Amino acid sequence: MHGLFKWSSKWWPGVIPLVVLWGLAAWSSTATVEADLAARSNAALKDTVLDKRRISVDGRDVTFAANAFSEDGRLSAVASVEVVPGVRLVNDETRLVPEAKPFVWSAERDVVRVTLGGNAPLPASKSKLTEAAKAGLGGVEVADQMALARGAPPRFDTAALLLLDQIGKLKEGKITLTDNKVNLAGMARELGGREAVAAALKNLPDGYSIAANDIKAPPYVFQAYKDPVAVTLTLTGYVPDNNVHAALVAAAGRKFFSEKVVDNLKASIGAPSGFAAAVVPALGALSRLSTGTLVVSDREVKLSGDALYDAAAGQIRDGLGKDFPQGWQYKAEVTVKPAAAPVDPTVCQQLFSEILSKGKIRFESGKADIVPDSAGLLDRLIETAMRCPNATIEVAGHTDSDGEEAANQALSERRAQAVVDYLVRAGLPANRFTPIGYGSTQPLAGNESEDGKAQNRRIEFVVK
């Protein structure tokens, strides 16, 4: 032992190469040690839920910064870094995620994207919501601007997923969840969407309630287009139900005597009240136009097109609004079609016959009152009469053989007179027309069948 002490006084020269060796070891190993410890610390925290985790290693000292979602989670995260082999000290810079009060989450949809904003309670629910938005909205860009915060109400994920489902039913709008109160605003994508959203909101988890639901329905649109070239009437848009649908198509068939009705209507809820009562007279006004478009959007009726003559334009502009139910608005942009070239009386006769072969002037049963459905037909007859200003025209009334001959005679005369009155009101000179009643003396077909009788009840225009 004494020898060892004696020899040790001569060990000092080796310290010089030892220091050199130490310098080399320190120079070459520091970065390796730091990288190794950082990797081990990150591995130790692999299963711990943290936000903004940052680990930096200086020598063997680990600086650990992170936002934890609970105090327990924070302490266990620090402890798991402390027990990583090789770690000398842990500089604990961890904090708790800030608590949001009130806890607000929102989903906003505009033309191009859906933006998720506000707070989410955990990274897992944040990614779950983003994924659900991407999956549920099919191709719409999803922008995730959610921050993380504590203080979410219970069953937040379920509620947020349900609300996210509703954003798909909106064209644009915003759904906000403030603690457990839901606010909705915007415009539904389709008719019935507003009602579907309201129904789905009944499934919100217990404790959640709706503070405001300001979702608007898209306009309820019905359109009719009269095309004089294709000789069609195209109906598009929505009708409240199948009964109204059938009634509208039937009314269009009566009013548009020569056009083929193209029916592209769809039944949908959400119609304004008095829909059929407004649309039927509006179709009547459209039938009087040479070419025109009828657009019914919610309670606003817009009619545009060309009337056949001046007086008709005035009647269409002023007359229609009066028939409408309360609260409906009417806008007419009716111009007058340029007058057609004058023609010989013989051509006029041909035109009259042609028009009257396609449709008939109809009267109330047993009376001399012209039904409103015949307005379009009469306008065509008036336009034709204007093209041969020098011709005198006999307006001949005919009946079937039902009832007394004297009564039929009188009815045919009154009906012929009613037509002449109508023509005069339209601006034609009264002296050009001679109303004559023939009763049932000039039948076109046998009076034995209903079909034959219907053919015999008629008004004829004869150019003299």
Partner 1 sequence: MTVLATFFWGWLLGAALLGFCMGWIAVVHRAQGVSKVWMRWLALLAVALIAASFARIVPGRFGYWLDLFLIMFALYLVGCAIGSWLRDWVVSRSKPAS
Question: Which residues lie near partner 1 (CB under 8 A)?
Answer: 3-4, 6-15, 17-18, 21-22, 24-26, 29-30, 33, 36, 58-61, 85-86, 88-89
How many angstroms separate the CA atoms of 98 and 101, rounded?
A: 10
Which residue lies nearer to partner 1 by CB, 93 or 369?
93
Which residue lies nearer to partner 1 by CB, 56 or 447?
56
We find the least distance from the C-beta atom of residue 46 to partner 1, in angstroms, to be: 20
We find the least distance from the C-beta atom of residue 89 to partner 1, in angstroms, to be: 6
CB of 270 within 8 A of CB of 250?
Answer: no
We find the least distance from the C-beta atom of residue 118 to partner 1, in angstroms, to be: 40
We find the least distance from the C-beta atom of residue 6 to partner 1, in angstroms, to be: 8
Which residue lies nearer to partner 1 by CB, 36 or 190?
36
Which residue lies nearer to partner 1 by CB, 28 or 431?
28
How many angstroms separate the CA atoms of 19 and 440, rounded?
A: 137
We find the least distance from the C-beta atom of residue 43 to partner 1, in angstroms, to be: 14
We find the least distance from the C-beta atom of residue 21 to partner 1, in angstroms, to be: 6
Burial (Cβ within 10 Å: 0-12, 13-18, ≥19) of residue 247 = middle
Which residue lies nearer to partner 1 by CB, 6 or 46?
6
CB of 316 within 8 A of CB of 307?
Answer: yes
We find the least distance from the C-beta atom of residue 9 to partner 1, in angstroms, to be: 3
Which residue lies nearer to partner 1 by CB, 2 or 46?
2
CA 54 and chain centroid, separation: 48
Which residue lies nearer to partner 1 by CB, 36 or 241?
36
